Amino acid sequence: MASILQRRAAAAARRLLLFLPPGPAAARWRSSWALPASLVRWGGLVGGRWVETPAVFPVQDPASGEELGRVADCGVAEAREAVRAAHDAGAAWGRLPAKERSVRLRRWYELMVENKDELARIITAENGKPLKEAQGEILYSASFLEWFAEEARRVYGDIIPASAKDRRMLVLKQPVGVSAIITPWNFPSAMITRKVGAALAAGCTVVVKPAEDTPLSALALGELANQAGIPAGVYNVVPCSRQQTSAVGEVLCTDPLVAKISFTGSTATGKILLKHAAGTVKRVSMELGGHAPFIVFDSANVDCAVAGALASKYRNSGQTCVCTNRFLVQKGIHDKFVENFAKAIERELRVGSGFDENTTQGPLINEKAVEKVERHINDAVSQGASIVTGGKRHSLGKNFFEPTLLTNVTTKMLCTQEETFGPLAPVIKFDTEAEAVAIANAADVGLAGYFYSQDPAQIWRVAEQLEVGMVGVNEGIISSAECPFGGVKQSGLGREGSKYGIDEYLEIKYVCFGGL
């Protein structure tokens, strides 16, 4: 074991600097690409300790393909150890006065803000998104800790009028217990705090399994949690490779000590986790796949609709669960919208390294993601769609892809039937409001939906008829810590953020006090 630790220490020292892409720009990028040694951790976090494992797995920069470093590959044993640590810490954390939990969460929030630039560099390094977007994610991520630090002090019960003179009836809200938190790579910080903030505020402890592509953000949050005074065992992290993911996920979903599962990811994976959780009837929150429609009616302000479309579609290179996946544009405004949208794409969007200040579009996360975008474009073109702009891999190579706009799209094409998760905007022309709503609601998922209109009556009708959990009216960016995030149909169960988010981590207990 000593030799393993010595090798890992030597490797960690080498990893304080990121590998640089080849070429003359390397020297210029060196300072930007340095990983912040104060926050980068390579082991799992279990019971307040940084845990080494004999096996490790690589974390890669999606822009260059270079290896950033190697992280502890936690398996079944480490997952069970983390669950036990969370369980052992749970009683004390749950009994802590709400005000004290609030103070610790608030301090964690403050440390995130103080270290926002370092945390953003970690995100850009492992996820690829532009640094400005990464900085925005950190502030968004921190906002959930701030919000739930405040909500921790507002978990109220009830007094119920008694049915008999000698009784008093009351309702208590208590923490559900150990919560397994399974998060995706596209928002490697915010998807953690949106869940963990609520869990810790309610008095629960957590075991976080981050995506194998982006474990460094979860581990950096762990370092700041330790600094904020979050007790050992309250926040645990078990990073693992793709090969270990299935086994670790099964442990987190079946261990009898785990009371709650919160997952963000694909609908297919969510269904597998639900089956695992059914055996012990665990509480479950699921934020699953989306297929967001973006409807532009004839009455819309075209310039506003184009600005909203650009933001909604191409943020994080189209790799968000609430990104627009289908544009539905009414025939009277269709040609003008497409023309202006194409000009905006070519004028506003710049593909490149996330560390380049001019970049608005970073790489896709991996080759598999690029191949899916290509498959959707090829299928659409083969059925008659036209490429207005983009349509192919970018000259930078690797995982970079040109922002793409398609017209003459029909509902028979893959890009209108599946979530692309990339920089592809397919436009469908429609005639009537009823037709647009029918197309929008034809999906078996319903996370977010957007539409642009200046007709007040139409706004009310369509907002109420869209079968989604969140609607943006004349707005392309809708997420906020104060508002409930979640979907309907096969887009998931439960809500995150807002005053409703903490309820996902609370049990309701009725107490009848008799003989008075």
Question: Which residues are annotated as catalytic?
Answer: 287, 321
Asked whether 93 and 203 are in contact (CB, 8 A), the reply is yes
DSSP secondary-structure letter at 359?
A: -
Separation in Å, CA 350 to CA 123, 218, 315: 19, 29, 12
| Burial annotation 390-420 (CB, 10 A radius, 16+ → b, else e) | bbeebebebbbbbbbbbbbbeeebbbbebbb
- For 505, residues 6+ apart whose C-beta sits below 8 A from its C-beta are 175, 176, 179, 198, 199, 201, 202, 203, 204, 260
Q: DSSP for 140-164, please give it.
A: HHHHHHHHHHHHGGG---EEE--SS
Return all residues near 221 (Cβ < 8 A) that are at least 6 apart: 112, 189, 192, 193, 196, 235, 237
Reduced to 3 states (helix: H, G, I; strand: E, B; else coil), residue 276 is helix
SS3 93: helix
**Parallel/antiparallel/unpaired status of strands 470-473 and 448-452:** parallel
Quick one: tokens of 360?
């608005």
Other C-beta atoms closer than 10 Å to the C-beta of 13 total 10
Task: Please list, in sequence order, all residues whose beta carbon lies within 8 angstroms of the beta carbon of residue 378, skipping any fewer than 6 positions away.
Answer: none
Is the CB of residue 34 less than 8 Å from the CB of residue 18? yes
How far is it, in rounded angstroms, from Cα 402 to Cα 186? 19
**Residue 34: which residues within 8 A CB-CB, separation 6 or more?**
16, 17, 18, 121
End-to-end alpha carbon distance in the chain: 64
Kind of pairing between the strands at 283-287 and 492-493: antiparallel
